[in-house]
Amino acid sequence: MKNLSLTQQYLLCVLNKNGKLPAFGLEKTLCLSAAGVLELLMEDALSFDGKKLTVKSALPEEKAYLRPVYQAVERKQPVKFESIVEYFSLDFTDKHMNELIDSIGASLAKKGCVQREEKSGLFGGKDLYIPNEADVDAVVQSIRAELLEDGELSEDVVALTMLLHKSGDLKQYFSAYEKKDLKKRLKEIKNDPQNEMVQKTVEYIDSLLCLVIVAIS
């Protein structure tokens, strides 16, 4: 499998066959921006004191596709985790989320994991990132291999699993027979103190979803 990061793997798994996120996929955009923050925390580019995010070190060149997230924290620091997720996912114009998708999508195109179709014209348009099925399958098989076997899970797989589960994209990769084992694994992940940051991330996403539901009801 190509060496893909948490955020790259997440976007690759949630893009539809037309190369974009579903029109009504708020959970997916929330999880994508959250993945970006988590990845920068894992990389020690950002720090989190339990309440606020701040910049900890320079953005590594190999993480340039997360520059939109890094710069948002840099401008707003100290800033709540959920405020950064909200900045990208609940923007009325989708401008910030589109910038993030383009940045991550372009990095996937360079690795040959997606086919980029540039949209141009008088009114412009969103570029499309059509996923390579073989690369999606490689990510899925990697997740399945860790989740369905005994043993310690890697940090990336824990985060990717929880985010795909939150956005409703995980279960499609498992048979009805396997879902019992999957449910057991998900419970273990949630109860493991080592995964506290990922669990907090899911709680932030839940709180933002509740805000949206209240706002439109």
pLDDT for residue 205:
87
**pLDDT of 179 strictly over 60:** yes
pLDDT for residue 52:
95
In percent, how much of the chain has pLDDT > 90? 58
Q: Is the dihedral of CA 59, 65, 66, 72 positive or negative?
A: positive
Residue 107 contacts by C-beta under 8 Å, 6 or more apart in sequence? Answer: 8, 64, 65
The answer to pTM > 0.85 is: yes
pLDDT for residue 102:
95
Q: What is the DSSP string of 90-129?
A: S-TT-HHHHHHHHHHHHHHHHTTSEEEE---STT----EE
**What SS3 string covers 180-195?**
HHHHHHHHHHHHCHHH
Q: What is the pLDDT of residues 103-144, one digit of tens each?
A: 999 999 999 999 999 876 555 567 899 999 999 999 999 999
Q: What is the DSSP string of 9-54?
A: HHHHHH--TTSS--TT-HHHHHHHHHHHHHHHHHTTSEEE-SSEEE
Half-sphere exposure of 191 (CA within 13 A, CB side): 6
pLDDT for residue 125:
67
Average pLDDT of 182-194?
A: 88
pLDDT for residue 35:
96
Neighbours of 98 (CB within 10 A): 16
Task: Please count the residues of the chain.
Answer: 217
Q: What is the pLDDT of residues 30-84, one digit of tens each?
A: 999 999 999 999 999 999 998 899 999 999 999 999 999 999 999 999 999 999 9
CA distances from residue 18 to 114, 180, 208, 215 in whole angstroms, order as listed: 11, 32, 27, 30
Domains for the chain: give ranges and CATH numbers.
Answer: 6-216 (1.10.3630.10)
Comparing 211 with 203, the larger pLDDT belongs to: 203
Mean of all residue pLDDT scores within the chain: 89
Q: Hunting for tokens 């890697």 — which residue is that?
A: 154
The Cα 140–Cα 147 span in angstroms is: 11
**pLDDT of 216 strictly over 50:** no
**pLDDT of 214 strictly over 60:** no
With the CA atoms of 10, 91, 199 and 43 taken in that order, what torsion angle do they form, in degrees rounded to the nearest 10?
60
In percent, how much of the chain has pLDDT > 70? 94
pLDDT for residue 9:
96
